[in-house]
Every structure is written in structure tokens, then in C-alpha cells.
Amino acid sequence: MTGTAADVPAPAKAGSLFAGRERAIAYAALAFVGVLQAILLTHKGINWDEFFHLTEIYRFRAGTLTHPLQTFWVRPLSWVADTGGTSVDQIILVRSFMLLAAFATAAGIFAIARRFAGTTPALLCAMAYLTAGYVFTQAFAYRADPLAAACLVWVMWIAGAERLSWSKVALGAGLTALAGLFTIKSAFWVIPIGGYALWALWPMGRAQQVARILRLAVLAGGGAALFAIALALHGAGLPIDTAEASARGLGSAGSVVFSEGLFPQGRFLLRQIAMGLPFAALALLAVREWRREEPSWRGLILLAGLYGMLLSLVVYRNAYPYFYVFLLPPVAIALAPILRQATARGSAPLYAMIFAANAAILFMLDPAEPLPNQRIVQQGVREVFPQPVTYIDFSGHIGDYPRAVDFMTSGWGLKKYRERGVAEISEKAQAEPIPFLLDNHWVLTAAITGQAAPEELLPEDARFIRENYVHHWGPLFVAGKHVMPGSSTIRIEVPGPYTVEGSPLRIAGRDVAVGEALSLPRGDYRVVAQDAATLRWGDHLLRPAIAPPGGMMMSDY
């Protein structure tokens, strides 16, 4: 009897050791994924939207930011403009904070999933999220999505907490307001937060339910009030009426983001499934497991909450790759039961290795070309124009230089520009000189070459670009004119110094030799050239010593 009693703890001890080993493997695999993402954020090419987001900080600091909605993040991040370096350097620095936000989201997933499973399955849920296709490659993207997701997953944890204290209510209200200030699509999260809150509320007595509903109402109302106050204060520092700008922004967003039919970004959804196949398969299998374990209405409501946001993919125009960082935390929580079963079978190390392998594959497949090319462009432009001047490009590639126009930031921006029907580039050129252009999008390539493209500028703006810029280096075009042999009339639209190249000219009654510079105000000029010549903006404008970039110039997510 004594010997038997002495032997009883042995299997439990062995099981405990095995569980500890599984947990250690899960932690190690999770750390491996985190290291891969930290390396990737310093090597991955910068997307056009990240460049645009950096320009928002410079516009805020210059006092020219005119839309308060969804720009609150410029305040906590405005310090990055003081760190020196190029736009690429500054974006990579901001990316490190975005990755920390993604890790905070993973921690929130772990905290909620642990309620449905043990520590190891909850770790696997967090790992499944971080390796889920575009989440792995976009978790550190310089956008509002990682920040909002980090806030909202912890609001969800608070809403379903076993003990909802007033301090948690206050924290939840603050996080709710912050998420809304980062992005208005935070409203989508009412589905998982509401589902989890109802699940937690369901088994309580009537008195407890009433008390909890009151606290949840205070959380929601307090969040809305804090959002309104913070938005008003943020807008007060901008050169525009906050209420008018916010209403206009909401109306514009509503008219565009739900107006492109079903599955407007279906191609990215298919890629997400392929890139995150382990996650997608488990998410599908987990539905059956939830229905088996919790077939009641309570379980169904929770399940609807965890998966409900996926319906946004059917109609939401901006369901681009970065959106999955924001979208998938509730689905990752839904994996808890199936990963609990896997852990019980001793398969946790296998799942950890599958997730880690998926991350490693995505890491290796990410194209290496864009970021070095982007650094070359930064260096080249700054050699030619060491001091900031106004320029034209698609996304604000040189964040600390003023852009001529701001509509070239997305397909949405181009669409609204064409609807307005105002040749904004030509108008801006009448107000101030625009010395250079970066050809970093097909809409500009089409304007330069005159060829058709999926999206085009208004004819007047396209003609302005085609007639007033000459190639200088790589993607860099500078103001200038090609002059044909003989006598002709040209119009200078970008006033300033010009250098004669190719052939001597007689312009405005003055003979100008090759290599000579002259100042040309805006206007029409009679020009006589013996041979083909070029008038290039600038007094002997330098060409970069570095070779121009070749290959991919922009990261396609």
C-alpha cells in the first residue's frame, strides 16, 4: 500500500515535466517568430502607404494637416521627424513601435485564449496569429491597424473579464477612445467585444448581470466621450474646422469603402489563405469544435462574435493585406479549443514547428530588392536637392520635402481627384515652382510617356508633366524643356535658373552657350536652336554619383 502510494505521483510528475517541456518549446518558437519579424522590419521594402503616413507627420509639424479624423497618431509619433536620417530610416524606426503593438496584440490573444484553454494552447493561439500570412509580413507596417488592434484586443479582454472592476472600466474606456482616434474602422470590433461580453454575462444572476451591463455601458459611453473630447482637442491644433472636416471625412469614407461590390479585395483574401494556410485550416476546423463543446446559444453568440468580423471582407474596399493585422485577433482566440486538444495529445511542439516554419517560409519569400532601391532614391534625390523643394510623386517618398499635391496617395485619392475635375498639379505650379518629379507609380509613368494606364491624371495635369519635365537620373525627373532644331516658342511653367545642354540657343533675344545658365521667369519664349537642345532646371544641377536603382521600387505589401 505504501509502495503504491509512493508511486502515484510519478505519472503526474512526468506529465508535468512533459507539459513544461511543451510550454518551453512554444515559448522558444514564439521567440523565434518575433526575432524573424524584428529582422524583417529592417529589410522589407516600404509600401507607398507607409511613405504617405510619414508625410502626415511632417504636414502636422508644418501646420498643413487638414483632416483630424484618423490622424491622432501623428501626435505620439511626431518626434520621429527629429531623429535625422532619411524617410526610410524614420519609417523603420516607427515600424519597431508597430511591432511592439503587434506583440501587445498577441499578448491580449494569449490572455483571452487562456480562459478557454491552458497556457500552452494560448501561446499557440498567439503564435498562430503572428504567423498568419499577411499578419507576419504586415504586423509592423506603419499604419493605424497594429495600434488599434493592440488597444481593442485588451478592451475585449476587459469586457469579458471575470471581475469587471471600475479601474478596468476606466482603462477600457481609454483604450476604446484611443482605438477610435487611430482608425474609425475600430467600430468593427463591436462584434467580437460584444460577443465575448455576452458570453461572460450569460451565466450570471440577474443582479450581477444588471451591475455588469451598467459598467459596460459606462465603458462604452466613456470611450465615446473621451473620443469626442480628444478629437476636438486634436482638431483644435489643426488649420480647419474639426466638426466639418470629420463629417466630410466620414461621408467620403462611407461613399467609397463600401461601394465596390462583393469581395473588392478578393485577390488578397486568396493570398492570405495561401500564405497562412495552417491558420486558415485551423480556423475552419475550430468552428466544429466550438459547436461540439458549446452547442448552446451562449456558445453560438461567442462563436459569431469571434468570426463575425470576417464578413467585412465581403464588402470592405480597404481589406488590403495590412487589414488582417486588425481583423484576425478574434479568430486567433477561436483556435483555443482545437489547440487545447492538440496539446492534450502531445502535439503542441508539432504545431509550434508548423507555425514557425510558415513564418520562416514567408520570411525567405519576401523580396529583397525594394528597400535598397528606396535607400538609393533617398540618397540620389538629396544629392541633387540637398535642401527641401516642392516635388511631385505618388506617395510622399521624400517625407521631409513638401509635396505639390496630396491626392496621389491611393486609388481612393485618385478617384476623388478625378471626380472633382480640378487640375490640381497645374494649379499648384502656378502658385509656386515644382522643381522635380519622382516617377514611382504608373499614373505618373503614363503622364510622362502619354501611354494608357489603369489610373490616369486629368488630361491637363498629364500634359503639364509631359511638357515640363525631363529625365535626370533613375526615377528622378527635373523641370526642363526639350528644344527642337530651328525656331519655336516654348512656355516655362517652372520659373528659376536653367542650364543649356546639347546645343547653343538664342532665347528671348539673347545668345546662350552650352553649359551657360540663365534665369527664366514663368512665361512664353521664342527660341532658336541649331540642333536639339535641353533647358534643364537648376544652375548645373548635379547628377548623383550613385548608380540609379534597378528592379522593384516599391513593396507590394
Instruction: Please give the Cα distance from 473 to 89 (Å, whole number).
Output: 22
As to burial, measured by CB atoms within 10 angstroms (0-12 exposed, 13-18 middle, 19+ buried), residue 332 is buried
Position 170 pLDDT exceeds 80: yes
Query: Do 494 and 468 meet the contact criterion of CB atoms below 8 Å apart?
Result: yes
Q: What are phi and psi of 398, to 5 degrees?
A: -105, 85
3-state secondary structure of 183: coil
Domains of the chain by residue range: 2-241+252-365, 370-537
Helices (H), 294-423: 297-308, 312-315, 323-327, 329-334, 336-344, 348-365, 370-384, 411-420
Least confident of 11-20, 269-278, 366-375, 515-524: 11-20
CA-atom Rg of the chain in angstroms: 29
Transcribe 230-257 into DSSP letters.
HHHHHHHTSSS-HHHHHHHHHHHHHHHH
CB contact at 8 A, 74 and 56? yes
What is the pLDDT, as a whole number, of residue 369?
87
- Residue 2: its pLDDT value, please? 37
* CA dist., res. 306 & res. 197, Å (int): 11
pLDDT in tens, 186-243: 999 999 999 999 999 999 999 999 999 999 999 999 999 999 999 999 998 888 765 5
Question: What pLDDT is recorded for position 415?
Answer: 86
Q: How far apart are CA 297 and CA 294, in angstroms?
A: 8
Query: In 345-429, at which residue ranges do the beta strands (DSSP E only) sit?
Result: 391-392
pLDDT for res 4: 33
Average pLDDT of the residues of the chain? 92
Percent of the chain with pLDDT over 70: 93
Residue 492 in 3-state DSSP? strand
Residue 144 has pLDDT above 60, yes or no: yes
User: Nearest 5°: phi and psi at 527?
Assistant: -125, 140
Q: What is the pLDDT of residues 388-440, one digit of tens each?
A: 999 999 989 999 999 999 887 777 888 889 999 999 999 999 999 999 999 99
- Helix or strand (DSSP H, E) at 497: strand 496-501
Bridge partners for 527 per DSSP: 488, 507
Coil, helix or strand for 188? Answer: helix
When comparing pLDDT for 15 and 280, which is higher?
280
Pair type for strands 533-537 and 510-512: unpaired
pLDDT exceeds 50 at position 538: yes
What is the pLDDT confidence band of residue 246, given thresholds at 50, 70 and 90? low
Residue 115 three-state SS = coil
Report the percent of the chain where pLDDT is more than 90.
84
Predicted confidence (pLDDT) at residue 254 exceeds the cutoff of 80: no
In the prediction, which pLDDT does 3 show? 39
Choose between 342 and 244: higher pLDDT. 342
CA distance 317 to 256: 8
Do strands 391-392 and 436-438 pair parallel, antiparallel, or not at all (unpaired)?
parallel
- Out of 146-150, 190-194, 382-386, 449-453, pick the least confident: 449-453
How high is the pLDDT of residue 299? 95
Q: What is the pLDDT of residues 87-114, one digit of tens each?
A: 999 999 999 999 999 999 999 999 999 9
- Expressed in percent and rounded to 5, the helix, strand and coil fractions of the chain are 60, 10, 30
What average pLDDT does the segment 118-133 reach?
97
Identify the pLDDT of residue 388. Answer: 96
Residue 245 has pLDDT above 80, yes or no: no
Nearest one of 183, 19, 34 to 107, comparing CA atoms: 34
pLDDT at 239: 81
pLDDT band at 17 (very low <50, low <70, confident <90, very high): low
CB 399 within 8 Å of CB 439: no
pLDDT digits (tens, 9 = 90+) for 49-96: 999 999 999 999 999 998 899 999 999 999 999 999 999 999 999 999
pLDDT of residue 5: 35
Residue 6: band (very low, low, confident or very high) from pLDDT cuts 50, 70, 90: very low
What is the reported pLDDT for 255? 58
C-alpha 476/C-alpha 536 separation (Å) is: 13
pLDDT of amino acid 411: 77
Identify whether the C-beta of residue 438 lies closer than 8 Å to the C-beta of residue 475. yes
| ∠ Cα 510 513 517 (to 5°) | 80
Binned at pLDDT 50, 70 and 90, residue 244 comes out as: low
pTM over 0.85: yes
Cell of 162: 471575470
Q: What pLDDT score was predicted for residue 406?
A: 86
pLDDT for the residue 238? 87
Q: Element (H or E) spanning 483, and its range?
A: strand 476-483
**302 within 8 A of 293, measured Cβ to Cβ:** no
Of 283, 47, 313, 77, residue with least CA distance to 185: 313
Which backbone phi and psi does 284 adopt, to 5 degrees?
Answer: -70, -45
> What is the tens place of the pLDDT at every residue in 358-376?
999 999 999 888 999 999 9
pLDDT for the residue 200: 97
Q: Does the structure show a pLDDT above 70 at 8? A: no
Mean pLDDT of 431-459: 93
Amino acid letter for position 25: I
Within a 10 A sphere around the Cβ of 16, how many other Cβ atoms? 11
